[in-house]
Chain A
Amino acid sequence: MNSLMARLQSGKGYLLSAIIVAGLQTVILGTIIQSRASILNNGAEVLLKTAPVDPRDFLRGDYVVLNYDISSVRVQTVSGGIPAEPGEHTLWVRLKKQEDGFWTVIESSFHHLPPLPETVILRSQPFYSGGLAAGDSIRVEYGIERYYVPEGQGKPIEEARNGGNVAIAVRVSPAGSAQIRGLLVDGKPVYDEPLY
């Protein structure tokens, strides 16, 4: 080990170190990009109604907060029981298209849901739940709660969101990961969302 490190820290070895470090970063970034692009490309499409501030992330810039109708899941839809003990849980929800074109929760479960035709299964992010006494709905996030916009351009979208005219098109992978495909105001996309 020591001789290996010593060899790395000399002339040519530094080059190898550089290739390892830069290569590792490239692989990580490439993996994330590819995993997201593949959902965009192959995922099942659902349209979600947002019940929509101009916050700013230090690293990712301005974004619009998105709060979905499906973000609060009614307890009556839960099948297979609610875990009694407090702890970290994941909720799977089954979405079905309504007559108005938006998708809504028809079933949810703390266990894997089997796929059914004309429905899409979405997996929530792990969240802390205090157990049975959860009230009549469960708040969950899906990792699609932010829409990043160019600096200073969040206001018009927010106004439209507050007017209830914003919808989000989402692609969902077979494993239930959600990926925002586009933001629609009055049914029209505001920004191009290329695969890469």
Chain B
Amino acid sequence: MYRGRLERDLSLWVGKGLLGQETAGALLAEYDSRPASFSLGRVLMALAAVLLAAAILLVVASNWEAIPRLIRVGVILALIWVVHLAAARMLARGASAAASGLLIIGAMSFGGAISLVGQMYHLSGDEQTVMYLWFAIATISAILFRSGAVAVVAGFLSWASFAVYLENYDTHWIGLDPWMAPVMAAIVIGLVRYTGAERARHLAYLLLIGWLAWLYTLYEEIAVALAFAIGGMAAFVLTALPTRSVASLVRSAGAAPAFYSFLVAAIGFLLLHIEIEDGWRLVVLGVATLAASVLAIALHGRDNGAVRYLAYTTFAAEMLYLASVTVGSILGTSSLFLFSGLVVALVAWIVIRLERRFSANAQGEGA
């Protein structure tokens, strides 16, 4: 994605004489040499590791009688030792792609091993504990080897753990276990920052959003939806604040914090629309939703494409919704669109002025 755009832009600049051909080549080579950039070999290696690990997990699940179970335990323990030691050798040699694959197998095999023990002794009701142990092992491995691949495994295990919780407790809130989902999300974000596995960040944010959605199903009240809308917008505005401590933290996290906090707000607005169907409250809600979209575009629209498109979508959906519910007659619809058109024109005018200010600021900074 980014590489394609970079290459296009570079050739454009070369064509315009802004950049020498050699510099462009050097810039592209620098990008390709970054460890986080896409490498087909690296991705295939990770996929192969996932397939091999799945094969191991399924052999365990088949409870194959041909192999005595003590031997099964021995084999899987031997496998765990071999892959970790081999990964250490690979890393020492600098073969990081192969090492990531081996570490993925190592982290997954532990789940197979612990399931095997559960199967041997006919254990039931311990699924949640197993998930905690498995997540903990993946976390420790990701930290010690500073492995982004294992951080991704930990991210998926945090989902699995939450899924096991929901299944075991029939989606009710019981005890302290529900807090583990946000705790695991925080740990995964920590791992992402430490290992540099940028894309795994989304796993943590999506887990948090799933968790919030679950909270709403527990308490289907306007207050919860309102909290999502207000809390989401507050967090969103916070990401745009130029305060030094917040700004550096947010900037190093890329586009995600702004996008996901606005997504939470948008979900809150959507839920509010389900609760509030008519009257003056709907008008207030509609105006608030439109205003929030405009605010989102104003604060992050320029630099954050994901926020921009989500805000466009929210804005358009809100307009269509208002058009479909508030008016009964054709003349009523027409007058609503007239009014909407005038409002949007006003908004466009404000946005254009804001954009001018942005570019003026950018030039001011550049100068």
Interface residues of A (CB under 8 A from B): 5, 8-12, 14-15, 17-22, 24-26, 28-29, 32-33, 36, 40, 56-63, 88, 125-126, 128, 141, 143-151, 179-180, 194, 196
A14 to B57, CA, bound (A): 26
Interface positions of B from 218 to 265, Cβ below 8 Å from A: none
B88 contacts partner chain A, Cβ-Cβ < 8 Å: yes
B23 at the interface (CB under 8 A from A): no
What residues on B are CB-neighbors of A145 within 8 Å? 124-125
| Cβ contacts under 8 Å, A151 to chain B | 61-64
**B92 → chain A, closest Cβ, in Å?**
5
Which residues on the B side are within 8 Å of A150 (C-beta)? 62-65
Q: Which residue of B has the minimal Cβ distance to A61?
A: B61
- Measured in the bound complex, the distance between the Cα atoms of B245 and A52 in whole Å is 61
A residues near B124, Cβ cutoff 8 Å: 141, 143-146
Partner of A21, one of B133, B140, B146: B140
1/0 contact trace for B299-313 toward A, CB 8 Å? 000000000000000
**Chain B interface mostly:** helix
For B286, what are the chain A residues with a Cβ–Cβ distance below 8 Å? none
Contact B88 A15 (CB under 8 A): yes
CB-CB < 8 A to A57: which residues of B? 61, 115
Which residues in B have their C-beta under 8 angstroms from that of A143?
123-126
A176 → chain B closest CB, angstroms:
14
Binding site for A on B (CB under 8 A): 57, 60-65, 68-70, 73, 77, 80-81, 84-85, 87-89, 91-92, 106, 110-126, 133, 137, 140-141, 143-146, 169, 172, 174-175
Cross-chain contact B61 with A21 (CB below 8 angstroms): no
Most B Cβ at <10 Å: residue of A5, A24, A59, A196: A59
Please give, as numbers and ranges, the residues of chain B lying within 8 Å of A59 by CB-CB distance. Answer: 57, 60-61, 111-112, 115, 118
Q: Kindly list chain B residues whose C-beta atoms are within 8 Å of the C-beta of A147.
A: 122
In the complex, A24 Cα to B113 Cα: how many Å? 13
| A86 CB, min distance to chain B CBs, angstroms | 10
* Interfacial chain A residues near B92, Cβ < 8 Å: 10-12, 14-15
Which of A5, A25, A36, A196 has the largest number of chain B CB atoms within 10 A? Answer: A25
A14 touches B110 (CB 8 A): no
User: Nearest Cβ in chain A — how far from B61, in angstroms?
Assistant: 4
Additional pairs, 15, CB under 8 Å, beyond known A59-B111, A146-B124, A179-B121: A8-B144, A10-B92, A22-B81, A22-B106, A25-B137, A28-B114, A32-B114, A33-B117, A59-B57, A59-B118, A61-B60, A61-B63, A144-B122, A151-B61, A179-B122
**Which residues of A are found within 8 Å of B62, using beta-carbon distances?**
61, 150-151
Q: Once the chains bind, are A25 and B125 in contact (CB under 8 Å)?
A: no
Check A22/B172 contact, CB under 8 A, given A59-B60, A59-B112, A60-B115.
Answer: no
Q: Which 3 A-B pairs have the closest CB atoms?
A: A14-B88, A18-B88, A61-B61
A5 and B70 CA atoms in complex are apart in Å by: 36
Bound-complex Cα distance A126 to B129 (A):
13
On whether the beta carbons of B137 and A24 are closer than 8 Å, the reply is yes
Of chain B, the residue at the smallest CB distance from A26 is B77
Q: Which residues of A contact B125 (CB under 8 A)?
A: 125, 141, 143, 145
Closest to A14 in B: B88
Which residues of A are found within 8 Å of B63, using beta-carbon distances? 60-62, 148-151
Question: A21 near B70 (CB under 8 angstroms)?
Answer: no
Docked complex Cα distance between A60 and B111 (Å): 10
The chain A residue with its CB closest to the CB of B142 is A21
Residue of A15, A40, A61, A194 with most chain B CB atoms under a 10 A cut-off: A61
Give A10 to B111 CA distance when docked, in angstroms: 27
Distance in angstroms from B81 CB to nearest chain A CB is 5
Q: Which B residues lie within 8 Å of A18 (CB)?
A: 84-85, 87-88
Residue of chain B at shortest CB distance from A37: B121
User: By the criterion CB–CB under 8 Å, are B144 and A17 in contact?
Assistant: yes
Taking the nearest CB of chain B, how far is it from the CB of A105, in angstroms? 19
Interface contact B87-A58, CB-CB below 8 Å: no
Q: Write 26 A-B pairs (CB below 8 A) sorted by A numbering.
A: A5-B146, A9-B145, A11-B92, A15-B89, A17-B84, A17-B145, A18-B84, A19-B85, A21-B84, A22-B80, A24-B140, A25-B77, A28-B137, A29-B114, A56-B61, A58-B61, A60-B116, A61-B119, A143-B124, A144-B122, A146-B123, A148-B122, A151-B63, A151-B64, A179-B122, A194-B69
